Amino acid sequence: MSLEQIVCLCNGVTYAQVREAMAQGARSVEDIQAATGAGDVCGGCIERIEKILGDVCTCRNVSTEEVVKAIQNGDTTVEKVGVTTGAGTACGKCKCVIESLIESNK
C-alpha cells in the first residue's frame, strides 16, 4: 500500500497517517480513531485499519504478533528483530513502528 493511499474516505486519512499513529503508540482501532479520526464516521474502513494494525512489515509480510513475540524472546533492537523476523530489512518504512513496539514491550 502506498503511503498516500486513502484508508478512510470520510475523513481523508492516509495509510501514512495510520502508520505514523502506530509509530506514536497506537495499537488498536480505537487508538487509530483517536489519533487520526479514521473510522469515526461510517466505519467502512475499520477492516482496513485492522489489517494495517496486524502488519508491521508489508515488504516481508511480518505481522505485529511476530514482532512482539521476537521482542518478548529478547530482541531489544530493530536490528535484532530484523534478523529474527525479516521486518525492517527491505524498505525500512516499518522501523519506527518496530521501535515503538520495542518501547511499549519493555
C-alpha cell at 15: 495509510
pTM: 0.85
Q: Is the pLDDT of residue 98 over 90?
A: yes
Strand 6-8 vs strand 13-14: parallel, antiparallel, or unpaired? antiparallel
CATH topology of domain 6-104: Arc Repressor Mutant, subunit A (1.10.10)
Taking only the tens place, the pLDDT of each residue in 1-25 is: 788 999 999 999 999 999 999 999 9
- How far apart (Å, rounded) are the C-alpha atoms in residues 47 and 100? 22
C-alpha cell at 14: 492516509
Which secondary-structure segment (H or E) carries 95? helix 95-104
What beta strand segments (E) does the chain contain? 6-8, 13-14, 55-57, 62-63
